[in-house]
Amino acid sequence: MGMRKPAYLKPGDGITLVAPSFGCVIEPYMTRLHVSIKNMEKAGFRVHEGANIWRADGVACSAPPKDRAKEIHDAFSSDAQLILSVGGGETMDEMLPEIDFDALSACEAKWYMGFSDNTNLTFLLPTLCDTMSVYGPCAGSFFQKKWRLSEKDAFDLLQGKTHFEGYPKWSISEKNVDHPLWGYRLSQPKIIVDHNYQEPFEGMLLGGCIDCLINLCGTRFDRVKEFISRHPEGIIWFLEACDLNAMAIRRTYFQLREAGWFDNVKGFLIGRALSGREEVLGVDRFRAAIDMLGGFNVPILMDVDLGHLAPSMPFITGAYARIALEKGNLIVDYLD
């Protein structure tokens, strides 16, 4: 079965904001979202605010699971072309039993974009509904007057651009509650570490935050082996870690490998780990990847522009792409 690709965005299209994880009720997220909404409207889009985006009465989330699921179903039934999450968080997975994925499959294909905890939908929409999604910035990231780097790339991607290149440097995580509109500063030199890379490679992009993926593995929502069997072109996995340390990252790679998720893999793109940058008992994030994934004899590109340390390239989950490493920079070309 082929993947369903939503129509690209154009001026005048609708964007529905949803909060399947955190709602934006604290700083800097609240101010950033207010300004981002204005900026998206200035860019020519119609923005509809979902019922839960300003809520925080769930357990470490915007609202109870049924309310969050209803917001998602309402968004997919709306005339919006993009469903945009307002934030990541911790307990989006608890909403999944309330989601009717068959109903989402029957809806007109729409883009869903989000980051971090939003892996729970950006990953399951392709694997359960054969619908492409975007692992990219949440709504509150568009607060700057002039969108740049990953924010600009995200909307360019949604409007049909197919060629993307990595960024010159990266930033230590910066969020200032007293100055919510301060952006990130590129201050850290970028060094991509490669293992077994020889030439550009192609495959279907699939992945997200491994903190979330490991929780999906083995559940009733895990149909990864069936998905990859339908796509003999092979999978390029893009993976990034948030709260996991280096040893937990290693264990996660092991479990996903032994669950068969990496069968027919064509390559790995591994982002900058947020909490896993220090060694644990002699194991660092690079050794974790090479030891657990090196046996597939495919390219492994590590510390690419992906993850919770900005800027992070957006990726279309479920799209066929060519990946190259040129002069120390990641190049992504979408081919379908």
Query: Is 53 in contact with 21 (CB distance < 8 Å)?
Result: no
CA distance 222 to 209: 15
Give the pLDDT score at 125.
98
Q: Would you state the torsion angle of the CA atoms of residues 107, 215, 138, 27, taken in this order, to the nearest 10 degrees?
A: 130
Query: Is 135 in contact with 122 (CB distance < 8 Å)?
Result: yes
Domains and CATH numbers, the chain: 14-161 (3.40.50.10740), 165-334 (3.50.30.60)
Give the pLDDT score at 178.
76
Give the pLDDT score at 184.
83
Confidence of residue 2 (pLDDT cuts 50, 70, 90): confident
Give the pLDDT score at 315.
98
Query: Is 248 in contact with 278 (CB distance < 8 Å)?
Result: no
Give the pLDDT score at 174.
67
* pLDDT tens-digit series, residues 159-169: 999 999 999 99
The candidate with the shortest Cα–Cα distance to 324, out of 160, 198, 136, is: 198
Give the pLDDT score at 179.
82
Number of residues assigned to the chain? 336
Confidence of residue 94 (pLDDT cuts 50, 70, 90): very high
Q: Which residue type, as a one-letter code, is found at position 334?
A: Y
Give the pLDDT score at 278.
94
Determine the average pLDDT of the residues in 79-87. 98
Distance of CA 213 to the CA centre of its chain: 11
Q: Is the pLDDT of residue 26 over 60?
A: yes
Q: Tokens 């968004």 identify what position? A: 75
Q: Is 333 exposed, middle or buried (0-12, 13-18, 19+ CB in 10 A)?
A: middle
Instruction: Output phi, psi for 198, to 5 deg.
Output: -125, -35
Determine the average pLDDT of the residues in 259-267. 98
Number of alpha carbons in the 13 Å side-chain half-sphere of residue 177: 4
* pLDDT tens-digit series, residues 282-303: 999 999 999 999 999 999 999 9
Q: Which residue type, as a one-letter code, is found at position 110?
A: K
Confidence of residue 327 (pLDDT cuts 50, 70, 90): very high
HEC assignment per residue over 114-133:
ECHHHHHHHCHHHHHHCECE
Determine the average pLDDT of the residues in 174-179. 74
pLDDT, the chain, mean: 96
Q: Is the pLDDT of residue 1 over 70?
A: no
Confidence of residue 181 (pLDDT cuts 50, 70, 90): confident
Determine the average pLDDT of the residues in 207-225. 98
CA distance 125 to 236: 17
The candidate with the shortest Cα–Cα distance to 269, out of 228, 314, 227, is: 314
CA distance 189 to 44: 35
Query: Is 43 in contact with 155 (CB distance < 8 Å)?
Result: yes
CA distance 81 to 9: 7
CA distance 77 to 307: 30
CA distance 289 to 275: 15
Give the pLDDT score at 249.
98
Give the pLDDT score at 325.
98
CA distance 315 to 310: 14
CA distance 57 to 60: 8
Instruction: Output phi, psi for 127, to 5 deg.
Output: -75, -25
